[in-house]
Structure 1
Amino acid sequence: MATAQLSLSYGQAFVAPERHRHRSSMSVHLPESTLLGAKGACALISDSTSRNTNAKQAGDLSVRGFIADYFSTPDHWDIKTSATRVLHALNGWCYSQSKHLDEGSYVASLSAMVFRGQEAHLFHMGDTLVFRLRGAEFEQLSHDHVNDLGGYRYPSRALGMDASLEIDYLKMPLKQGDLFLFATQVAQGTLMPSEYVQLIRQDASDLDAACERLTEAAIARAQSRGYGAEQFCFQLVRIDQLPDEENDRPGKVYGDLPIPPELSPGDRLDGLEVQAVLSRTAQSRVYRVRDVLTEREMVMKAPSPELSTRNAYLEHFLLQQWVVERVRSPFVVRVMESSRPRRYLYYLMAHVEGETLVEWARKHPQASLVQRLDIANQLGKAIQALHHRDLLHQQIHPGNVLIDPHGQVVLIDFSACHLREVDGHKRSRRLVNQVGLTQHTAPEYALGDEVGRRSDQYSYASTVYWLLTDELPYTLTPDRLRSHTDLEQLSYRSASTRNPEVDPALDDALRRALDPQRSLRYRRLSEFLHALRRPLGEERQGRRAVPRMFREPARFWQGVAGVLLLLLVLSWLLR
């Protein structure tokens, strides 16, 4: 006997005269049955201010972005985890992109409601409106986050408004026949609760017609009061059927999938045959595998069997796949889909034929500066692709960079990759310390200071320095720092003295990107990349080469002292 599934109906109506730019967006998404059981359905409404020249793009982006990313989150995440992570990521992207606009922004109020099983989950920020009609009871579920400045009402909280995001969250039980009304802020104060109920109940079977009645009544009321009647948006969602209680269970949590046992070449797991063991660490196992059904070669990453009780790490392990799936770059390894359902906890990545940067440098000691800088620039593009998604890699070093037979760079290993959030720097440091510091790790990780994109910049610059000189920029490596006083021992060793092909401008760029103080590095990674891309023989706009004595003052004066000592000894001998 078939079990009942969640079923809902919806209607919409909006008015936006052509002479006014449409600034609101709304949508209802009901996925296919498998995804419906794991993730539910969702309804959203978004609105931006009339003075925002990018209002339409902001509203559309927030709605489409949430739907695309929310339904791509892993099935084992619960509703709140999935939606809040997506909203934080979306907020970070909107906030960072708004900085590059000459006018307007990607700021928008957003109300998103997820219907799953016998519950509804509301995520709200800004001044959009959400009501519930149950029987004759009409209740506002959302709270208005607005400021009144000079007669204009502005959202005091919205998506993309600030680097951090505060989200109102409300979970409520559903009943068959519940009606949810989504509206923009301009509807506030136009109709009374009793009028909403009356207009909706006139013919509740046709929700589009009910929304049209609400729109017409709101416009008439606004005009009668002498203020604008544009940009009214109404969306109604009705719960037609609820799933059976026994069929209403959350998606699998990470504890439902067992960690794979220790595997060896020839072993099979979920139709994947192990070809080779690539890595065994305290945290994970990495295998090269072949799908016996499709013959594809891939890389499987699984938690170490010893981590079966360390749920905090396992939760992050499951985040890794979702993190990498969000990045689309030829310089970042791709996550692959399995041809069968997973019975164990792991994820699959594309297998890249190639060698690590360490192996490449060992085999090509005579590689030119141009070849090395080409590799550096490709690696920079990989890091930029992560940063554009508000992700920190946090483990950039030569062992995590692959070079394929065509010379293309592929960045791998996302053990410490982290999605920046409100308390992101605390979680980031914890992850890096758990995975392990390296010689290329930025000093702030060892000292417990705040971390960010400039921390990746340091690791990247340290890797480039090593690639150009086969040495490290400091005698005391950051992973050995114990206190802030140790920073004084970090004296930069000029790259040009170790590789004469490195010109003064390039050396200066490396020196700045490798500054022990995070705030003194390049503000944006693109500035450092620009310095790496300059033609090697280009005149530096009148900038003269810095004499070696000023780039290495300690060595210069040591040489002077040695010459003086030699002259003194000779004078004694010639007496």
Structure 2
Amino acid sequence: MAHAQLLISYGQAFVAPDRRLHRSSMSVRFPEPPLLKAKGGCAVISDSLSRNTLAKQAGDLSVRGFLADYFSTPDHWDVKTSATRVLRALNSWCYGQSQHVQTGSFVSSLSAVVFRERDAHLFHMGDTLVFRLRGAEFEQLTRDHVTDLGGYRYPSRALGMDGSVDIDYTHLPMKQGDLFLFTTQAVGGTLLPSDYVRLIREDASDLDAACERLANEAKQRAQERGYGGDQFCFQLVRIDELPEESSDHPGQLYGELPIPPELAPGSRLDGLEVVAVLSRTAQSRVYRVRDVYTDREIVMKAPSPELSLRNAYLEHFLLQQWVVERVNSPFVVKVVEPSRPRRYLYYLMQHVEGETLRQWAERHPQANLSQRLDIANQLGKAVQALHHRDILHQQINPDNVLIDLHGKVVLTDFSACHMREVDGHRHSGELLRQVGFNEHTAPEYALGDSVGRRSDQYSLASTVYWLLTGALPYTLTPNRLRSHTDLEGLTYRNARTSNPEITPDLDEALRRALDPQRALRFRRLSEFIYALRLPLGRRTVSEKPRQESRHFWQGVAGILLLLLVLSWLLR
């Protein structure tokens, strides 16, 4: 008999004197059918080092983070693409957080199985354990990545251990009745394969009870052998029913969503009516559209109809919406979820009523330094919000910055955005080369050198320099460099010659952020943003009380001197 959808049962058991101090974490999530068909269901287990003071936090964070982000990935991504990108992004975040704590780390082993349609997809890092019981066959599916140091075993590959991570991936066709067991290295040396089979089969109808039997038996064996038996956890997932075989695979990388045709004002697509064409490039189309059901105006971005399915930009287009959704900042444009299912490949963003930074500068030639620096600071916060999520914008320039009717800055256009560890090992500059360099692009892109956050720092500083002076910092624009010897032709123009309001300190900050050598720029973007804030009046405000205080005490001293002279004269 064929079944319409995947059905599972699961059970769990912990052995711990205090559950709050347990270093392991596990969870199972099977969503409702629409999401279940697109993304499947997940079972995850993680385990941190016993000597890690942040073990509990690391384990819980990795499990919650994976489940939250995996089910938020686009429906048209396949399982391997979604899980791999989520794990790499999570790894970067954990690694970054570990650099800011004095003791402990956010390092943990992790194994996750995604059950979708009739297949299981296993993703593994470190030394957590996943077994499959099929009939009488009990098989370990994961491979231990451990190193022995001084008698202790440490994971040699785990989540958050390094800036990059290798992920074991295994694709497993499922059969009805398959049982997947998740546990940790603490169980080593306690139970034999025959013990697992016996204890699970004793009453396979109650998976929670089966996990309890496994935990209690492992604890007893550990105590008999004279070592700690208080850190065991077991999770069982049983495949109760499988869906019927189908040739429909909506989770393929490009899905079955075709690229929209060329649209014009008045055209309709998925209940969205085109109001205006905002942009047409070789890579994309941007339209202002109106939802005919809600009457709301939003912006639609779609790939160019001329792109082939093998085009690198099209592959990246599928990433853009997910990347932008991860950023929560008032200074970064927000993605809008469609009110109806999409039949074409595009994504929607909020419509910002306003003008580009270039248009604003043309309309406000008399704007003072304080007004311009306020815009520069807002733009800096937008870039900072991206960097906090390990995202490089790579296209910061006056045409990608909007100023709304209230003077608020909104950063837009993520055509070349790059997420560390999400875009794989491909050099992110290749994508920008395809999208196109501009006069604010950092020199390292044109020279094919490695890029990073300081590359965005250069583009931000170049845009701010242009905003404050109306000119560019170099006669030779970096996007026209042909070799490293051309860097010698980049001589910085003193910003104060174009705008005398600029302080020497601000000019020096601009010069440093615009250094042709990436390594010589500010180490952190926050340092440059701080330098932009100082001329807004912080120094003058802080100096004013000191000047008033100095005048007061000078007056007091003068009066005392006068009284002293009078006392002498009256003697």
TM-score over 0.5 (shorter chain): yes
Q: Secondary structure at the match of 2:529?
A: helix
Residues 527-536 or 326-335, more deviating? 527-536
Does the 8 Å contact 2:3/2:242 carry over to 1?
A: no
Deviation of residue 18 (structure 1)?
A: 2.6
Say yes or no: does 1:143 pair with 2:143: yes
The alpha-carbon distance between structure 1 residues 20 and 225, as it changes in their structure 2 partners (threshold 3 A), is farther
Q: Secondary structure at the match of 1:373?
A: helix
What's the counterpart of residue 472 of structure 1? 472
Deviation of residue 457 (structure 1)?
A: 0.8
What's the counterpart of residue 323 of structure 1? 323
The alpha-carbon distance between structure 1 residues 248 and 198, as it changes in their structure 2 partners (threshold 3 A), is farther
> 1:513 is matched by which residue type in structure 2?
A
> 1:41 is matched by which residue type in structure 2?
G
What's the counterpart of residue 6 of structure 1? 6
Does the 8 Å contact 2:394/2:432 carry over to 1?
A: yes
Q: Secondary structure at the match of 1:11?
A: strand
What's the counterpart of residue 346 of structure 2? 346
Structure-2 separation of matches of 1:74 and 1:214: 38
What's the counterpart of residue 370 of structure 2? 370
Structure-1 separation of matches of 2:247 and 2:387: 40
What's the counterpart of residue 314 of structure 1? 314
- How many residues align structurally? 540
Listed one character per residue, the Cα deviations across residues 498-521 of structure 1 (whole Å, up to 9, x for unaligned) are 211111111111111111111111
Q: Secondary structure at the match of 2:102?
A: coil
Alignment of 1:534-545 (within 5 A): 534-536=534-536
Q: Secondary structure at the match of 1:479?
A: helix
Listed one character per residue, the Cα deviations across residues 289-338 of structure 1 (whole Å, up to 9, x for unaligned) are 00000111000111111114544321211111111111111111111111
Deviation of residue 251 (structure 1)?
A: 2.1
Structure-1 separation of matches of 2:287 and 2:300: 5
What's the counterpart of residue 129 of structure 2? 129
The alpha-carbon distance between structure 1 residues 309 and 425, as it changes in their structure 2 partners (threshold 3 A), is closer
Deviation of residue 37 (structure 1)?
A: 1.0
Deviation of residue 19 (structure 1)?
A: 9.2
Q: Secondary structure at the match of 2:10?
A: strand
What's the counterpart of residue 562 of structure 2? none
Structure-1 separation of matches of 2:96 and 2:185: 26
Does the 8 Å contact 2:462/2:473 carry over to 1?
A: yes
Q: Secondary structure at the match of 2:177?
A: coil
Alignment of 1:479-518 (within 5 A): 479-518=479-518
Consecutive unaligned residues in structure 2, runs of 5 or more: 541-571
Deviation of residue 356 (structure 1)?
A: 0.5
Does the 8 Å contact 1:164/1:422 carry over to 2?
A: no
Does the 8 Å contact 1:186/1:232 carry over to 2?
A: yes
Alignment of 1:99-114 (within 5 A): 99-114=99-114
Structure-2 separation of matches of 1:146 and 1:300: 48
Residues 214-223 or 20-29, more deviating? 20-29
Deviation of residue 346 (structure 1)?
A: 1.1
What's the counterpart of residue 165 of structure 1? 165
> 1:12 is matched by which residue type in structure 2?
Q
What's the counterpart of residue 456 of structure 1? 456
Deviation of residue 250 (structure 1)?
A: 4.5
Say yes or no: does 1:358 pair with 2:361: no
What's the counterpart of residue 85 of structure 2? 85
What's the counterpart of residue 391 of structure 1? 391
> 2:292 is matched by which residue type in structure 1?
V
Listed one character per residue, the Cα deviations across residues 226-257 of structure 1 (whole Å, up to 9, x for unaligned) are 11112211100001011101276352542622
Deviation of residue 420 (structure 1)?
A: 1.3
Listed one character per residue, the Cα deviations across residues 250-279 of structure 1 (whole Å, up to 9, x for unaligned) are 525426222222211111111111111111
Deviation of residue 538 (structure 1)?
A: 5.7
Does the 8 Å contact 2:145/2:156 carry over to 1?
A: yes
Does the 8 Å contact 2:325/2:335 carry over to 1?
A: yes
Does the 8 Å contact 1:165/1:422 carry over to 2?
A: no
Does the 8 Å contact 2:506/2:535 carry over to 1?
A: no
Q: Secondary structure at the match of 2:82?
A: helix
What's the counterpart of residue 66 of structure 2? 66
Does the 8 Å contact 1:358/1:399 carry over to 2?
A: yes
> 1:124 is matched by which residue type in structure 2?
H
Alignment of 1:288-303 (within 5 A): 288-303=288-303
Listed one character per residue, the Cα deviations across residues 112-167 of structure 1 (whole Å, up to 9, x for unaligned) are 00011111110000111111111111111111111111122111111111001100
Does the 8 Å contact 1:125/1:159 carry over to 2?
A: yes
Q: Secondary structure at the match of 1:458?
A: helix
> 1:235 is matched by which residue type in structure 2?
Q
Q: Secondary structure at the match of 1:288?
A: strand
The alpha-carbon distance between structure 1 residues 205 and 425, as it changes in their structure 2 partners (threshold 3 A), is closer
Q: Secondary structure at the match of 1:84?
A: helix
Q: Secondary structure at the match of 1:307?
A: coil
Say yes or no: does 1:174 pair with 2:174: yes
What's the counterpart of residue 45 of structure 1? 45
Deviation of residue 202 (structure 1)?
A: 0.6
Does the 8 Å contact 1:285/1:302 carry over to 2?
A: yes
Cα-Cα RMSD? 1.7
The alpha-carbon distance between structure 1 residues 535 and 275, as it changes in their structure 2 partners (threshold 3 A), is same
Q: Secondary structure at the match of 2:293?
A: coil
Q: Secondary structure at the match of 1:171?
A: strand
What's the counterpart of residue 35 of structure 1? 35
Structure-2 separation of matches of 1:380 and 1:367: 19
Structure-2 separation of matches of 1:150 and 1:423: 37
Listed one character per residue, the Cα deviations across residues 190-230 of structure 1 (whole Å, up to 9, x for unaligned) are 11110111111111100001111111111111111111112
Structure-2 separation of matches of 1:438 and 1:24: 49
What's the counterpart of residue 544 of structure 2? none
Consecutive unaligned residues in structure 1, runs of 5 or more: 541-575
Structure-1 separation of matches of 2:20 and 2:435: 53
> 1:69 is matched by which residue type in structure 2?
D
| Structure 1 runs (4+) greater than 3 angstroms displaced | 247-250, 308-311, 422-427, 535-540
Q: Secondary structure at the match of 1:254?
A: coil
What's the counterpart of residue 567 of structure 1? none
> 1:331 is matched by which residue type in structure 2?
F
Listed one character per residue, the Cα deviations across residues 81-106 of structure 1 (whole Å, up to 9, x for unaligned) are 11101111111111112111122221
Structure-1 separation of matches of 2:358 and 2:249: 48
Deviation of residue 3 (structure 1)?
A: 4.5
What's the counterpart of residue 416 of structure 1? 416
Q: Secondary structure at the match of 1:186?
A: helix
Listed one character per residue, the Cα deviations across residues 466-523 of structure 1 (whole Å, up to 9, x for unaligned) are 1111111111111110000000111111112221111111111111111111111111
The alpha-carbon distance between structure 1 residues 2 and 219, as it changes in their structure 2 partners (threshold 3 A), is closer
Residues 313-322 or 287-296, more deviating? 313-322
What's the counterpart of residue 204 of structure 1? 204
> 2:122 is matched by which residue type in structure 1?
L
